[in-house]
Structures are given as C-alpha cells and as structure tokens.
Amino acid sequence: MNNKRCVCVGVSGGIAAYKALDIVSALSKKDIDVRVIMTESATKFVTPLPFQSLSKNMVVTDMFAEPKAFEIQHISLAKRADVFLVAPATANIIGKVANGIADDMLSTTIMATRAKIIFAPAMNTNMYENPIVQENIEKLKKLGCEFIEPASGVLACGDEGKGKLADVNTIIEKVLNALDNKDLPKDLLGKNVLISAGPTHSNIDPVRFITNKSTGKMGYEIAEEARDRGANVTLVSGPTKLNPPNGVKVIRVTTNEEMKNAILENYDNSDIVIKSAAVADYKIKNYSNEKIKKGDGDLVLTFVRDNDILQILGENKKHQILVGFAAESSNFIENAKKKIKNKNLDYIVVNDITSNDTGFASDDNKVTILSKDGEEFDLEKMSKRKVASKIFETILRKR
Ligand code: CTP
C-alpha cells in the first residue's frame, strides 16, 4: 500500500497542457504520488509519455481501456486523491463539472472525488470572460472548488488579455497548501473570526491619496487559514489587488473611518479579532472636494490624527481574543510590549519591516508573537500562510 500523499492532475486540452509537465515534475520531486488523467484533446497537445515518465505512474486517458489490475479506475483514483488539480482547465471541463456532466475519464473521476478540487483555467480571453464560463466558475466556487486566476498577457491565439495559465509556481504552492490544509485540525469550528487586512487611504482630493506599502497578503492568508480550520470568517479589507478568498465574507473599505465602522459592526459577534491591517494614523485636515490645482509655490498639506481602531477595540473588549500586529523598524520587542499594554491586547505579532525578503509585499514573514502574559515566541522566517497557522496554534494553545 502506497502511503504517500496523492495529487490527481487532470490535464484538459489547451496549449498550456505542456506547462502541466512542470507541475507534475515538481510535485513528484516532493515525494507526492502524482496520478495524471488526460482528456483526449489534451493528448493532441502533449502525449501521455512525458507525464508518465515524470510521475512514474501510468497516465489514464480512456474510460474503457483494459485495466492493469482489477479496479474501477475512475473510482479508485477519485478515492486515492488527497487533492485534485485541473491544469489547464478549459471552458469545456469547467462547464461539464459545473453542470454535472461525466462523460469521460477526467469528468467522471472529478464527479466521484471528495478531495479538494483546484482549477487553473487557461483559455482565450473572450472565452474566459464569457458570462456562461464566469457563471460556471462562480457555481463551482460556491460548492467549495478553488480557482487559480489566469494571468494576463499575449495569448497563444495572438489576442491580449486574461487567460494565460497562472504562474506554475503559484499553482504548485496552492496544491501544496491544500495538501497541508487537509490535515489541519478543525479547531475553529463554529468560531467567528474577524480579520482586517491591507492598507487604508487618506484622501487628499478626488484624485489623490496617500497610503502605505501593505499588500494585504498577511491578512488574506490569516483569513484562509481560519476558514480552513472551520471558522466563520469576516475579512475587512483595505484596497488590495488580491482575489477574495472563497468561503470568506469580504467587506471592502478604503479609509480608516470605513474600516473602523465595518469592524465595530462585527466586533460584538466575534470570538477572535486579528488586526493585521496597516491603518493610516493621519488623515488630511481639509479634504478638497475639487481637484487641487498647482500653484507657483510649495504645497503644504496638514494631516490630523485619525482613529486608532485597535485602541478602540481594546477599550471595548469583552469576551474577544484580540490580536494586533506591530510593524517596527527598531526596538521591536520593547515597542510591541508597549502596544500590548496600551491597546489592551491578548497577543501581538511583531514584524521587522526593514528586511527586504520578509514583511510588506513579500510571500514570507519573520515574526515574533508576544502574549500579554509575557511569553515570547520567536519564529523562523516562513511563508505567510505558515505564520497564520502559528498565530492560531499559539492563541488556541491553552483553550
Ligand atoms: N492600528 C489601528 N489603527 C491605527 C493604527 C494602527 O488599528 N490608526 C493597528 C494595526 O492594525 C496594528 C496595530 O494597531 O494591529 C499596530 O499598528 P502599528 O502601525 O505597528 O502601530 P501604531 O499603533 O500605529 O504605532 P506607531 O505607528 O507609533 O508605531
């Protein structure tokens, strides 16, 4: 019996089928049992042989081929899969799965699996943007499937726009995360978790604002981690380019005031509140309704203090576990300890924003978690998703 974790990779018929070779190769090198199913049209773009060589498993294409052992192959593969990836996913396979059609090896196996299903679509822009395809994608997302958005660029057909298979490394990372999440404890089941993420804008006039370097990635990863541990998650997000995570209630805001209102509306009902947003401390004193015209001299703007949202949450804390973040460029621990006390927090996650390969806009983070009781957990550099996991491990430890 093979005890390795298993990823089923469904390859459907698009020019990006050759990129699935890199995915299969990378996953196989991570000691994962990779089983490839190709649609008949996929075999017109790439033959099964390289997939076979890279995965060291027979590639399945035909429902009615003579089996190598007696087993009903689409059912045994469906059961064996821990994660099911469809890459590239054409409009056709997305449409079939969304509408319950199971008429070949790939679609029947997907229909029979209980594994997490991830689609990485790739197709012509007009096809991708077609409302029928979008409706099918929305339907599948609601049913718990994950979609890795295609990238934009010049497509094989010469058109320019959205539709290129997402970056292969992003796809691999999503699959590895899904494998890890499968084993996650459901220790937040029934809990309401409120998270804030991203920057806020301080508006100057109708066309100008100041903001900061936050991309929202840390908060979005925390939201996904909480969701995968079983929580009901509300994510209050400042302006970011990130896709809203599936299965999470997202409230989009722009300014400090809007973020404050959205958070306070959800505060009483929350069990855990994590404030990873980089909120602007100042807003412009005199917002101009008209676009400010240039003059001959210097432009002097005056900013006044805005809400400290976390401070307000601390002052009104009842049953909630309140977790803050601290972005520091010096005296990290000392400053963070002050923030725990002043803002009445239970925990604070401190990051050093001076490092180039962690913090803002990076996929990794290096943090220290401090508790109000004086405990200090100094973590290694790790992915933001792992940091999210450590935050929940730490705060759920004693409960
Ligand atoms: N925070 C907030 N409202 C603000 C500023 C910060 O809710 N106006 C929250 C952040 O979301 C974070 C924590 O407070 O969880 C600490 O943010 P940080 O920017 O590190 O600290 P500040 O409190 O703004 O203090 P300073 O800028 O002086 O370091």
**Mean pLDDT computed over 235-251:** 90
Q: State both tokens at 163.
A: 């539709």
Q: State both tokens at 393.
A: 């491990």
CB atoms within 10 A of CB 337: 18
pLDDT at 75: 80
Domain 6-181 listed as CATH 3.40.50.300: no
- Which of 133-142, 150-159, 267-276, 301-310 is the least confident region? 150-159
Residue 8 catalytic? no
Which has the closest alpha carbon to 150: 97, 102, 86? Answer: 86
Express each pLDDT in 113-153 by its tens digit: 999 999 999 999 999 999 999 999 999 988 889 999 999 98
Fold of 192-396: Rossmann fold (3.40.50)
- Which of 70-84, 218-232, 243-257 is the least confident region? 70-84
Cα separation, 12 vs 6, in Å, equals 19
Asked if residue 339 has its Cβ within 6 Å of ligand 1, the reply is: yes
Report pTM.
0.76
For the chain, which residues make up each domain, given as ranges?
6-181, 192-396
Under 8 Å between Cβ of 46 and 52: no
Torsional sign, CA 235, 241, 246, 249: positive
Buried-state track 241-274, b at ≥16 Cβ within 10 A, e below 16: eeeebeebebbebbbbebbbbbbeebbeebebbb
- Residue that is written with structure tokens 């240039």 in the block: 294
* Atom 8 in ligand 1: residue holding the nearest Cα: 308
Centre of ligand 1 from the C-alpha of residue 250, in Å:
21
**Mean pLDDT computed over 356-375:** 84
- Which of 194-203, 333-342, 346-355 is the least confident region? 346-355
pLDDT at 355: 74
Centre of ligand 1 from the C-alpha of residue 308, in Å:
7
Number of continuous H segments (helices) and E segments (strands) in the chain: 14, 21
**How confident is the prediction for the chain on average, in pLDDT?**
93
Whole-Å CA distances, 22 to 51, 55, 60, 249: 9, 11, 18, 34
pLDDT at 245: 82
Cα separation, 187 vs 111, in Å, equals 29
Cα separation, 340 vs 90, in Å, equals 50
Is the peptide bond prior to 88 cis by the omega test (within 30 degrees of 0)? Answer: yes
Asked if residue 198 has its Cβ within 6 Å of ligand 1, the reply is: no
Best mutation site among 332, 339, 350 for ligand 1 pocket (most ligand atoms within 8 Å of CB): 339
Under 8 Å between Cβ of 324 and 308: no
Asked if residue 309 has its Cβ within 6 Å of ligand 1, the reply is: yes
* Atom 20 in ligand 1: residue holding the nearest Cα: 326
- Which of 11-15, 127-131, 349-353 is the least confident region? 349-353
Classified as helix, coil or strand, 64 is coil
